[in-house]
Amino acid sequence: MPDDECEVVLIKTFANPTRFLALIRWVMPTASVLAVALLAAGLWLAFFGSPTDYQQGQTVRIMYIHVPAAWMALFVYTSMAAAAFVGLVWKHVVAELYARAAAPLGAGFTLICLVTGALWGQPMWGTWWAWDARMTSVLVLFFLYLGYIALSDAFDDPQKGINAGAVLLIVGVINVPIIKFSVDWWNTLHQPASVTRMAMPAVDLSMLWPLVVMAAAFKALFVALACLRLRTEIQRRRLAVRQMQQAEHAA
């Protein structure tokens, strides 16, 4: 089977919410257990396994939540935009609902990134905030999340909200490369990438491990919560259909 046909078959397989719910039934508990275990290991490594940095001192420990939260903020938005595209093109029910389920989680990760960044910036840079390209574009990402949540709930017809939100997500995806490359394109107060770069990471292994484990913990936590919220969205849609049938029956 050609690759593009294979992709379409895969997309159609999980377009059936019942089949998707069966998948969620084992993915959600597995991801939950993984998230708890990895969070415990990550916190232990962050506080007891990592040395203090010779320049940053104790504040290096803020990096172990700030950087994974930033990665998640970008990953969640990109996945939402991809799902919105699949939803618009193939009318894929689960993809449409995924964006609604994931948006508050993405907004939460972005908020963690902004707050922990400010708490690192004050002792290290002497300021909570600077309107540089990296920080401003992440703030725009946070507003995009809030805008999507508000827009997708703003219509009486939920489908109209999903479609309008999908357009916003697809247009807003332009912000993702701007965030990623802002530190290279412009002269920013924010430092350039030290882990996700083409060369070897510029972070020592003793500090890279807590970062990687916390990143995996955030990813597992997101999968567990996204599964739970997606199941809720599918059930909410079934409830709406059921209520409509009852209203028709009563009339």
Partner 1 sequence: MNGNPDHLYYVALAYLAATVVIVFLVLQSLFAAAAVRRALEDAEKTAENDAGDQAS
Among 49, 104, 147, 158, binds partner 1 (CB under 8 A): 104
Compare residues 174 and 247 and give the one whose CB is closer to partner 1.
Answer: 247
**How big is the site for partner 1, counted in residues (CB under 8 A)?**
37
Spatial distance between the Cα atoms of 174 and 119, rounded to a whole number of angstroms: 28
Burial class (CB in 10 A: 0-12, 13-18, 19+), 146: middle
Using CA atoms, how far residue 35 sits from 32, 61, 221, 225, in Å, is 5, 19, 5, 10
Q: Which of 58, 127, 196, 206 binds partner 1 (CB under 8 A)?
A: 58
Q: Which residue in 71, 120, 148, 209 binds partner 1 (CB under 8 A)? A: 120
15 phi and psi, to 5 degrees? -75, -20
Contact 251, 48 (CB under 8 A): no
Least separation in angstroms between CB 246 and partner 1: 6
**Contact mark string toward partner 1, 203..222, x via CB under 8 A:** ------------------x-
Instruction: Among 11, 49, 59, 155, indicate the residue that binds partner 1 (CB under 8 A).
Output: 59
26: helix, strand or coil: helix
Residues 232-251 that bind partner 1 (CB under 8 A): 232, 235-236, 238-239, 242-243, 245-246, 249
Alpha carbon separation from 245 to 233, 239, 240 (Å, rounded): 19, 10, 9
From the centroid of its chain, how far is CA 27? 18
Select from 146, 149, 223, 228 the one that contacts partner 1 (CB under 8 A).
228
50: left (phi over 0), alpha (psi -120 to 50) or beta: beta
36 binds partner 1 (CB under 8 A): no
Q: Of the two residues 123 and 192, which places its CB atom closer to partner 1 in the complex?
A: 123
Contact footprint for partner 1 (CB under 8 A): 52-53, 56-59, 61-62, 65-66, 69, 104-105, 108, 111-112, 115-116, 119-120, 122-123, 221, 225, 228-229, 231-232, 235-236, 238-239, 242-243, 245-246, 249
